[in-house]
Structure 1
Amino acid sequence: MCYSAQIRADYTKLVREFGATLSLDEFAQLYAHDAGKQRPKTPKAMDDGFIGARTPLGQDIVARIQQWHAEEMQTLDQELRVQSARLKQAEESLAHRPTQKARNEIRIAGNRIDRAQARLADLHRSGLLPRDSRIFPGVYAPVIVSEHGQRVIKPMRYQCRLPDKPARNDALYPGTYNARRDSLEAYWKNAFGHHHGVVVVQSFYEHVPRHAMEQRTLAPGENAQNVVLEFRPRPQRDLLIACLWSEWEGPEGRLLSFAAITDEPPRDVAEAGHDRCIVPIRRENLDAWLNPDPDDLGALYRILDDREPVELGYEEAA
């Protein structure tokens, strides 16, 4: 299953290359400060993509993002004060009487201080790093969909909640960020043939057993060990990943979310030791994919079969 991907979050490039319109209203709703709403999980590249916005609504989105950042900075500053006091107290306790409890307190406080400082540095940093475009389940990404025949970019959460499913399913079925091809007409039947999208990715990541990557069996007494591999197309280029999406409404509010379709792996991924892979579709099939005919599912399967030919290289992720 594709648990993480590095997305293309450059709105200008997405609009220019794919003739899509940016749904500013949807982004404004995502970043809105509604009562009781938690800060949406968005990659830095997606937030920073609005810097320099010229329209009033675009500038309003920038202001909303900055407000979220200011509130998060305030929370992180408070966390640093609390953990610094905790660390000092634990160090004093350890100096007076060495105990395992004091050592644990020093370790925990130190780790939390490091995380808070790293997050603050990210919020203050102006330039983008490759990890700023990386998404995980629960994180939002720009998804290209079709509305009245027009390509539109909307922000959606990477873990799909279907309209007929309760919110608790997010925790009960955490793997719903991927939609297996062999379940498209079962669990995903209300989305497949109805709500299709694509996410533009530059690379994706998979958990793979080390012995499978090394194409060997486990040695006697050896425990399986997972490694994270980053797969990149060679030569480097963007891939259009086939997705299903959903609009959900309930007491918790409104949610746009998506899942990436996975299928049998191509040779490159299988030889690396993984048994599933996301599906890159051809650009010439984009409109047919985004505007599906629910009465002709065979045509949709043919698009998934006629996938983008791509050589994938991989390396262990840092």
Structure 2
Amino acid sequence: MCYSAQIRADYTKLVREFGAMMSLDEFAQLYAHDAGKQRPKTPKAMDDGFAGARTAQGQDIVAKIQQWHAEEMQALDEEIRVQGARLKQAEDALAHRPTQKARNEIRVAGNRVERAQARLGDLHRSGLLPRDSRIFPGVYAPVIVSEHGQRVIKPMRYQCRLPDKPARNDTLYPGTYNARRDSLEAYWKNAFGHHHGVVVVQSFYEHVPRHALEQRVLVPGEAAQNVVLEFRAQPPRDLLIACLWSEWEGPEGRLLSFAAITDEPPADVAAAGHDRCIVPIRRENLDAWLNPDPQDLAAQYRILDDREAVELGYAEVA
């Protein structure tokens, strides 16, 4: 299961390297301030990718993003004020009479202040850090799809909700950000062979049992412990990850979402202790993947089998 990835969100390079058009209408709809709408979960790199937009529509998207940021910064300032007062009150109580309740209050309030300050710092920061391109389930990413034979970049949520599934499935089946190859013609049958896309990633992350990473069995009485590994192509380069996507409409509104296809792992991922892996396809297969024939699913399986040969190095991350 690929629970997180570092995406490529440099729109200029995506357009130039892959000959894709930006679907500005879809981005504008994502960032629109509709009544009762919550701020969409988007990585900083995806937001900042519109900085310097020259077209009127692009500049309108920038204004929408800035409005979301202003509202969030106001809420964070208020959170810092409220939790700061809570922290001060708990510190005074602890000085007067040491209690576990006061210690817990200090810990909770201090953590909330720290998180709010960190997020506020991210919103004010102009330069990008590697973590600004990282997505998790529920977060949006730019996905390359095909419309009438033209490659198009659209924003989609990383957790796929199929058209015939209710919104509550997002909670009931939280693993639908990945589409297992062995279920492509079962659960994913309405997307496989119909709605294919790719996400351009620079690295991806997996939870791996430490004892599996160390290639040993658990000793008696030892509890299993997970570690997070970042996998990156060696030498570093972009990978085109095979995805399925969906357009869903319901009382909650319209949703574009996607899932990354996973398969048996290559030898280097298996050696690191993980039993699944996303599938990087070859660039020469991109158009054939994006324009599938639902009557020839065997051709799509051949693309997944003819995956890009890539050596994956890994490192443990905090």
Scaled to the shorter chain, the TM-score interval is: over 0.9
Q: What does residue 2 of structure 1 align with?
A: 2
TM-score by length of 1: 1.00
* Equivalent residue number for residue 287 of structure 1: 287
The one-letter code of the counterpart of 1:262 is T
SS at match of 2:228: strand
Deviation for aligned residue 1:221: 1.1
Q: Deviations over 1:64-122 (max 9, x none)?
A: 00000000000000000000000011011111111000000000000000000000000
Aligned pairs for 1:110-189 within 5 A: 110-189=110-189
One-letter identity of the residue aligned with 1:39: R
SS in 1 for 2:154: strand
CA distance in 2: counterparts of 1:137 and 1:14, whole angstroms: 22
**What are the ranges of 5 or more consecutive residues in structure 2 without an aligned counterpart?**
none
Instruction: Give 2:223's aligned residue.
Output: 223
3-state SS in 1 of match to 2:257? strand
Give 3-state SS (helix, strand or coil) of 1:260's partner. strand
CA distance in 2, matches of 1:93, 1:307: 62
Residues 63-78 of structure 1 mapped to structure 2, 5 A cutoff: 63-78=63-78
Q: Distance in 2 between matches of 1:37 and 1:27?
A: 15
Pairing of 1:184-199 with structure 2 (within 5 A) = 184-199=184-199
Partner AA of 2:3 in structure 1: Y
Q: Which residue of 2 aligns with 1:249?
A: 249
Partner of 1:271: 271
Q: What are the residue-to-residue correspondences of 1:49-64 with 2, within 5 Å?
A: 49-64=49-64
The equivalent of 1:201 in structure 2 is 201
Amino acid at match of 2:172: L
Superposition TM-score, scaled by structure 2 size: 1.00
Alpha-carbon distance in structure 1 between the residues aligned to 2:120 and 2:297? 48
Deviations 1:25-82 (A, max 9, x none): 0000000000000000000000000000000000000000000000000000000000
> Which runs of structure 1 show a deviation greater than 2 angstroms over 4 or more consecutive aligned residues?
none
> 1:187: Cα distance to partner?
0.1
CA RMSD, 1 decimal: 0.3
Q: Partners of 2:71 and 2:217 in 1: how far apart?
A: 51
For 2:26 and 2:169, how far apart are their aligned partners in 1? 24
- Distance of 1:18 and 1:227 partners within structure 2: 35
Offset of residue 317 of structure 1: 1.3
Aligned residue for 1:261, secondary structure, equals strand
**Structure 1 counterpart SS, 2:46:** helix
Once residues 308 and 199 of structure 2 are traced to their aligned partners in structure 1, the CA distance between those partners, rounded to angstroms, is 14
Quick one: distance in 2 between partners of 1:81 and 1:233? 44
> Displacement, 1:15?
0.2
Please identify, of 214-223 and 49-58, the stretch whose mean Cα deviation from structure 2 is larger: 214-223
Structure 1: gaps (5+ residues): none
1:124-176 superposed Cα distances (whole Å, 9 cap, x missing partner) = 00000000000000000000000000000000000000000000000000000
Q: C-alpha deviations, 1:212-254, integer Å up to 9, x for none?
A: 0000011111110000000000000000000000000000000
Could you tell me how far apart the structure 2 residues matched to 1:221 and 1:69 are? 49
- Higher mean alpha-carbon deviation, 136-145 vs 215-224, is at 215-224
How far, CA to CA, are the matches of 1:17 and 1:156 in structure 2?
20
Deviations 1:234-285 (A, max 9, x none): 0000000000000000000000000000000000000000000000000000
Partner deviation per Cα, 1:179-206 (whole Å, 9 max, x = no partner): 0000000000000000000000000000
Q: C-alpha distance in 1, partners of 2:92/2:8?
A: 48
* Whole-angstrom CA distance in 1 between matches of 2:61 and 2:125: 19
- Distance in 2 (CA, whole Å) between partners of 1:196 and 1:227 is 31
The aligned residue for residue 235 of structure 2 is 235
